[in-house]
Structure 1
Amino acid sequence: MSGAIAKKYVNALMSGCTDGELTEVYGLLVQLVEAFKLEKFNNIILSPDVTSKAKEELVLSLVDTKNIKFQNFIKLINSNDRLKLIPHMAKELKYQLSLKNNTFEGSVSTSFKISQAQVAMLEENFSKKFNAKINLNANANAYPGIKVELDDLGVEVSFSLERLKAQMTEHILKAI
């Protein structure tokens, strides 16, 4: 439900701002999302004892901007008691900007170190496949193989060594 509400506010932002303003607003929302990671900040935003005006002033004091559209946006969501949806709005705005710019981010998970040239090759191949600009971040973790995730496109491609071994074993056992 909160995602649908956030989407409506983001759509209003998209229709009322230029590309430069949207990028600036997204950067400011990301700064505010960091504040939502603090329990004390969340308690203030959700508290019925703190006045609406005080919440608005607190949120606006966290970002240093003269952007009137952003200030009015914060005032609007505050007047509708939607400040708690700022993290959802930031996520939705990122997604909408990705769609608009045809640029998507993803991750490559491996159990070994992957070179920058290999990441660039994966980016190039996925960019051709989806006809979009794809940026990948390499993460070394315990995944036994390679997994490429593009969340905004709903794509996950993986090659697991364990799965390959299991399929080979199954194939050999069927042949016997």
Structure 2
Amino acid sequence: MEELIAKRYIKALKDGSDVASMQNVTSIFTTLAESFKDDKFVSIVANPSINVQAKSEMLLEAVKPAKSDKLNNLIKLLVENKRIEIIPALAEELQKDLANSTKTYEGVIYSDSDIDKKVIKELSSGLSKKFDSTISLTFSKTDFNGIKVEVEGLGIEINFSKDRIDSQIIQHIIKAI
């Protein structure tokens, strides 16, 4: 639900904005979203006994370096409509939207065995060419028996499971007999 509300705010925010200003707004909202991981910050923002004006001033002070009336008005609107808690969803949706605008995506390679940095770079460059985008991949060691590549922004998931390949080889041999 928060994502749908966030998308509406982003649509209004994007109207008439260029990519550079949207990158700036995205970084500001990402920083604000990090604040929501702090229990003290959340207790202040969610506290009904703290008036709307104080909450608004606190958040406006946080976005002051942007020097953007549009951003200030968005913060005031969020506070006024009691939607401060959607700031993390706004940050996430802004990151997705910016990735789609710039065609720059991040992905993760999961495997139970270590993968050389050169291989990661080659996978990244191959996927970038295939999808006409800039894709950067990072490695995460897990218990997945094979290799799995996920690029969430593009909706890509490629996996090669050792168990599945073994079972397919066995089935192929049985069919051949």
TM-score, scaled relative to structure 2: 0.89
Query: Aligned residue for 1:102?
Result: 103
Distance 2:54 2:116 in 1: 50
**TM-score, length-normalised on structure 1?**
0.89
Amino acid at match of 2:98: L
Shift of 1:63: 5.1
What is residue 3 of structure 1 aligned with on the other side? 3
Shift of 1:66: 4.4
1:161–1:100 Cα change, 3 Å: same
Q: Provide, for residues 128-170 of structure 1, a one-character-per-residue CA deviation record: whole Å limited to 9, x for no partner.
A: 2212111111112222111100111111100111222233334
Matched with 1:27 is 27
Q: What does residue range 44-123 of structure 1 map to in structure 2 within 5 Å? A: 44-62=44-62, 65-68=65-68, 69-123=70-124
Shift of 1:18: 2.5
- The sequence identity of aligned pairs, in percent, is 36
DSSP-derived class of the 2:124 partner: helix
Determine if contact 2:26/2:95 at 8 Å carries over to the other structure: yes
| Alpha carbons 2:63, 2:71 under 8 Å: kept | no
Query: 1:9 corresponds to which letter in structure 2?
Result: Y
Q: Assess, with a 3 A threshold, how the Cα gap between structure 1 residues 66 and 104 changes in structure 2: closer, same or farther.
A: closer
Q: How much has 1:30 moved relative to structure 2? A: 1.1
Judge conservation of contact 1:31–1:63 (CA < 8 Å) in 2: no
Cα shift at 1:44: 2.4
When structure 1 is superposed on structure 2, of 84-93 and 165-174 the one drifting more is 165-174
Unaligned runs of 5+ in 2: none
Unaligned runs of 5+ in 1: none
RMSD of Structure 2 on Structure 1 (CA): 1.9
- CA distance change for structure 1 residues 44 and 174 in 2, over 3 Å: closer, same or farther? farther
Query: Counterparts of 1:3 and 1:174 in 2: how far apart (Å)?
Result: 49
Deviation of the 1:173 alpha carbon: 4.7
